Chain A
């Protein structure tokens, strides 16, 4: 009984009078043979691992293999404690947590792929930061993460969530759509608003390429997590105001897939084009003296 489209999901929500997270946990319980409580416990384990990754990231300044990255979230913490951000505390926490998680990832630290490791800072930073600021319970955070999970799952049934297959739109782009949906769920939005938030976020990130400098998950990946976490908030806020995506989400997902097919292989995680071939990137590559040059 896999749910293959968002149209189908929304029909199911209204027919069964259920929210998206309820359908997510019911489907997963049916598939695995476990109870809904067991499913929610597993989601809680993910949530706790996400919180650990933020905590570890916030307290570390260890640089990456390249030496380029690893201390940006510390800069944010220092600055915001003296001079608050223009957009306030939620913005401060989301950007800081997103960087903390992404930096933990580049150190080969322990993170939760959500949906992928390169995009691991987006969903957690939104869920954790907003929960802290709005006093949202752990149970509601689990429901938010389940909502995010089902959104990602339906997209992944149509397109593989890998930069090598469809560019960064399929990683950070999809993560942003998932985070938008989670946020609307936690703020008490309707099923339609949740799907609309995901649609708005996904639509406005179509075409994003995957062109990591020297093949490392660092430039532009780390900072992109902070940008797309905020992008997710924009999608959620607009949807909660009743703004609707003119293009339905299922058609946006199809477009993402086709755009991925049209995208040159040079821009899909091969580091043979885009930012990876800029003058500065090539200089950085030389300086790195990478251990080997395979092909």
Chain B
């Protein structure tokens, strides 16, 4: 089991009122922003279960929006975020789905990318799917995420590029739609890699998407 930091329990410094429903929401938004990376015109949030039933009272809606706009959990501006956003088109939907975590959300940018995650308590989060591919990103590591056409040799090709930079890989996970179909890989890294690594991975044959996801502060 991975060791957790003490500061998971005696932090974060945040605006209230709920660590799971406010700070967790902000961090899910921030993480989704780190993954999507592009400027966006439109963002849709689908809130599930407890996020849907009690989210309004906990400022979950404000938190998610503030997060995708890059605000941090202790920013007093979150309280009045709706008064200050007029460029981005945002919307919310509310659903019940008992197969999902009690505090769960899907965030869709520009109808292009959907990022799903859970707020798992005390402000901690977990991103568990990106466009339907399962991942497990909790924001504690700098992470390299790529999508590619499934083929032999991809893991060694990518790990070779990273190893040449003398960056240690903390963990590596893969998922695929079918043999030879679309696959995803994400690597948790001890230190972040630079743009040149991202470019090299992008130039690797059969890779069609790669992004460098910074860990959360």
Q: How many A-B residue pairs have CB under 8 A?
A: 187
- Within 106-162 of A, Cβ neighbours of B (below 8 Å) are at 106-118, 120, 123, 145-146, 148-150, 152-153, 156-157, 160-162
B122 contacts A2, C-beta separation under 8 Å: no
**Which residues of chain B come closer than 8 Å to A105, judged between CB atoms?**
16-17
**Which residues of chain B come closer than 8 Å to A118, judged between CB atoms?**
17-19
- Within 89-130 of B, Cβ neighbours of A (below 8 Å) are at 94-96, 102-103, 119-123
B4 contacts A156, C-beta separation under 8 Å: yes
- Within 168-213 of B, Cβ neighbours of A (below 8 Å) are at none
User: B70 on the interface (CB 8 Å rule)?
Assistant: no
A290 contacts B6, C-beta separation under 8 Å: no
User: B68 on the interface (CB 8 Å rule)?
Assistant: no
Task: Please list the residues of chain A having a beta carbon within 8 angstroms of any beta carbon in chain B.
Answer: 1-2, 4, 24, 27-28, 31-32, 39, 42-43, 45-46, 49, 65, 104-118, 120, 123, 145-146, 148-150, 152-153, 156-157, 160-165, 170, 178, 212, 214-218, 265, 268-272, 290-292, 294-295
**Which residues of chain A come closer than 8 Å to B18, judged between CB atoms?**
116-118, 217
Q: Which one, B1, B9, B13, B96, contacts A295 given CB within 8 A?
A: B96
**Which residues of chain A come closer than 8 Å to B19, judged between CB atoms?**
113, 115-118
Q: What bracket does the count of chain B residues touching chain A fall in? A: 35 or more
User: B3 on the interface (CB 8 Å rule)?
Assistant: yes
A109 and B22 alpha carbons, distance in the complex (Å)? 12
A162 contacts B9, C-beta separation under 8 Å: no
Closest to A222 in B: B17
Q: Is the interface of B mostly helix, strand, loop or mixed?
A: mixed
- How far apart are B54's CB and chain A's nearest CB, in angstroms? 3
A215 contacts B10, C-beta separation under 8 Å: no
- How far apart are B124's CB and chain A's nearest CB, in angstroms? 8
B3 contacts A114, C-beta separation under 8 Å: no
A49 contacts B5, C-beta separation under 8 Å: no
Q: Which one, A49, A112, A156, A270, contacts B8 given CB within 8 A?
A: A156
A170 and B102 alpha carbons, distance in the complex (Å)? 15
A265 and B96 alpha carbons, distance in the complex (Å)? 13
